Structure 1
Amino acid sequence: MKITIISGSTRNNSASSKTSRYLKNQLLEINNKNTVDIFDLSEAQLPLWDESLDLTTLSAHADSLEASDAFVFVVPEWHGMAPPALKNLFFLFTGVFRHKPAFIVSISAGTGGRYPIQELRSTVYKNTYLNFIPVNTIIDRVNTIIDEDGNYIGEKQFVANRVDEGLKLLLEYGSAFQVIRKSDIVLEKRFPNGV
């Protein structure tokens, strides 16, 4: 199974990138037979979506995301919202998320991180057909939990346990959704833009 972690910040050396490295290590520790990639928005250099944009110029990114069976979204809270670059991803690559599960890990340098979860859950699924699993994790004061090298340094194991639960559940959903994507109703694609 291929899992892609989306690091949702465009900042270099961001807490999202560090958290993504931690999550990648945890996924490989759970099952090292999986392939785990990090799609870091600080490195991807994606254009803003525009109706005139030639999406074929992004085919390498699209192919990589399309090959994924499940996603982890590491989402920093910016001004009480998900970052615009992350939302832009869904405009550029709508079809690659169809009938695939996703786990949201929202992070904050302070005590925020709640609003992006609701924002993604309420706006992203319609046209993308992305399925957020019922579990999410919020990492408050992320810089006291994940260090510069992507290691867990939290004094307590609560966040690590929540991450472990979410990742294991994501892998189960990922296996189940492989079957769903092969079903006749999904392959039919009568309604490409959602409900």
Structure 2
Amino acid sequence: MTATKIGIIIGSNRKISQSGRIAEFVHSLINNLQANVSVDLFSVRDMNLPLWSEEKWQSNSSLVDLWKPFSSRLKECDGFIVISPEWAGMAPPHLKNFLLMCDGGELAHKPGLLIGVSSGFGGAYPVAELRMSGYKNNFLWWLPDHVILRHVESLFVEEPPTKLDVNMTNRLNYSLEFLVETAIAMAPVREKVQNLATYKHGM
């Protein structure tokens, strides 16, 4: 049986970020969840993508050549986890730029779990922003459930885990299981119905 592959997209471009730490924690949860699931990590900082431009639509452009290896890896994934910090009440521009680049079917009709990260009481605005505009031409299919990790610096750092750590770990496991099972269920639907050649752009 072919392994289900989940891509984890780290939306922060900071050298040391809480989003990156949470990505590693989520990776470990997925490894414990099911044996037949693999993970590919995508960091917008490490990808170092230029701003989207119309060169993305020109087959012989340097931007297309730069994007190809990332595109190939993304297309191999069956579902995604998008981890977004909140900067001034917004999703980071590097993350939005990454989602703009995914206009070649890389994310299309694959389930996506949103995880908002906040150092304080926030985290909801990037989730709302990405739900509203982060899917249109890439067709990423946001799951109805999402997770917001508030006061993230104090989460998953103590041993033994705090009561909040245990509660949030249980919530993450619940959402991750939904993501994996939805990814498995959607694969034959995409194969049967998806027609990006005719319907390339969302309405």
Gap runs ≥5 in structure 2? 57-62
Alignment partner of 1:112 is 2:115? no
Alignment partner of 1:11 is 2:35? no
Aligned equivalents of 1:194 and 1:176: distance in 2?
Answer: 22
SS of residue paired to 1:102:
strand
SS of residue paired to 1:128:
coil
Aligned structure 1 segments of 4 or more residues deviating by more than 3 angstroms:
151-155
SS of residue paired to 1:126:
coil
Alignment partner of 1:161 is 2:164? no
Aligned equivalents of 2:88 and 2:20: distance in 1?
Answer: 19
Deviation at 1:9, TM superposition (A): 0.2
Correspondence for 2:135: 125
Identity rate, percent: 31
Deviation at 1:191, TM superposition (A): 1.1
- The amino acid of 1:74's aligned partner reads I
TM-score under structure 2 normalisation? 0.89
- The amino acid of 2:69's aligned partner reads A
* Superposed CA offset, 1:32-64 (max 9, x none): 221111111121111111113532221111100
1:66 to 64, 67, 75: 75
TM-score under structure 1 normalisation? 0.92
Deviation at 1:165, TM superposition (A): 1.0
Alignment partner of 1:193 is 2:201? yes
Deviation at 1:131, TM superposition (A): 0.5
Range 16-25 or range 123-132, more displaced: 123-132
The answer on whether the counterparts of 1:55 and 1:92 sit within 8 Å (CA) in structure 2 is no
The answer on whether the counterparts of 1:22 and 1:152 sit within 8 Å (CA) in structure 2 is no
SS of residue paired to 2:143:
strand
2:107 to 91, 97, 121: 97
Gap runs ≥5 in structure 1? none
